[in-house]
Amino acid sequence: MSTFEEFTGTGPRIDALQYGNWSEKIFRQMREGGVDAVHVTIAYHEMFRETVANIETWNRMFERFPDLIFHGKWASDVALARRTGRTAIFFGFQNPSPIEDDIGLVEIVHALGARFMQLTYNNQSLLATGCYEAEDPGLTRMGKQVIREMNRVGLVVDMSHSAERSTLEAVEHSERPIVVTHANPSFWHAALRNKSNDVLKALGRSSGMFGFSLYPHHLKDKSECTLESFCEMVARTAEMVGVDCLGLGSDLCQDQPDSVVDWMRAGRWTKEVDYGEGSATHRAFPEQPSWFRDNRDFGNISEGLRARGFSAEEVGKIMGGNWLRFFEENFIPS
């Protein structure tokens, strides 16, 4: 950021995770909300060929809405987005299913634009253990190999849905910093998906990044969570690990039918219903808190952070400056 941007807090605005039912409406809301870049999920359980089909769908959207969005590949695309008044869309996976059992696909998916890959989505994967498994034996043999290859090509390790030991081992094993794109600290709201102080501190020490989630299941009081409570949580996290490793990863799943959350949770790994973070009585997508309904509401968060006592410079870092620095350092081959 320039000094002016630091002063005014008008640096880049970056959301490190969304999975919307994409439409012109959402892209226009991104513009209204001044969102310069979004990391979008393009695979939950999809294998390689299905993931490529999802990229093809995105390519058609890039062709249809060239004035609103474009495919973001490098940190410099955030500046391009700001210069041209558009939103750069960065691809990522919430599961390693797109690389199947083939380490060579790591470089292939990076060439196709993937920039983040979770090593697990809730369950055990070929690489590591998910946060819903009873036991966490840590990184697998293939997991260690794939992390090294991800480091080499510039595909960022994301442990948002991973279990504790696997996450700490990934921080240790990875030669480049890793991230949790979307979660909250468990000291604030003790959910299986939220992260321990040990994980937060390990990310802070290793130049990693932690993206705060706005998904109600990750929030204290869920849909009733207040902006003040959210900003207080950010402040307490910053006191513990510093402000430079913090950003946003809203986990906004806008306009999705509830069949999609069923797919996210159950994929093809079970024939039964898996409620994930929900329950039999609360199976659907939860309602967003009133102060963060969609992409138009990022301004509420920056105002809330200012009100909580963060400086304009600090707010600029949390709203996107830190993610931009991370993009600059970690999307290119090593």
Residues in contact with its own copies by CB under 8 A are: 48-49, 52-53, 55-57, 59-60, 102, 104-105, 107-108, 111-113
Task: Report the relative pairing of strands 87-93 and 179-183 from DSSP bridges.
Answer: unpaired
Integer distance in angstroms from the first to the last C-alpha of the chain?
24
Q: At its nearest, how many Å lie between its own copies and the CB of residue 59?
A: 5
Q: At its nearest, how many Å lie between its own copies and the CB of residue 99?
A: 11
d(CA 24, CA 32): 12
Nearer to its own copies, 111 or 273 (CB): 111
Residue 277: both structure tokens together:
């973070």
Nearer to its own copies, 150 or 318 (CB): 150
Nearer to its own copies, 79 or 103 (CB): 103
Nearer to its own copies, 105 or 231 (CB): 105
| 279: Cβ contacts below 8 Å, ≥ 6 apart | none
Q: At its nearest, how many Å lie between its own copies and the CB of residue 227?
A: 41
Residue 113: both structure tokens together:
């634009």
* Residue 315 DSSP label: H
81 near 36, Cβ under 8 Å? yes
Residue 9: both structure tokens together:
């807090």
Nearer to its own copies, 7 or 62 (CB): 62
Nearer to its own copies, 25 or 60 (CB): 60
Residue 170: both structure tokens together:
């990934």
Q: At its nearest, how many Å lie between its own copies and the CB of residue 109?
A: 10
* Residue 289 DSSP label: P
Q: At its nearest, how many Å lie between its own copies and the CB of residue 152?
A: 9
Q: At its nearest, how many Å lie between its own copies and the CB of residue 53?
A: 7
Q: At its nearest, how many Å lie between its own copies and the CB of residue 167?
A: 29
Nearer to its own copies, 46 or 277 (CB): 46
40 near 3, Cβ under 8 Å? no
3-state secondary structure 179-245: EEEEECECCCCCCCCCECHHHHHHHHHCCCEEEECCCHHHCCCHHHCCHHHHHHHHHHHHHHHCCCC
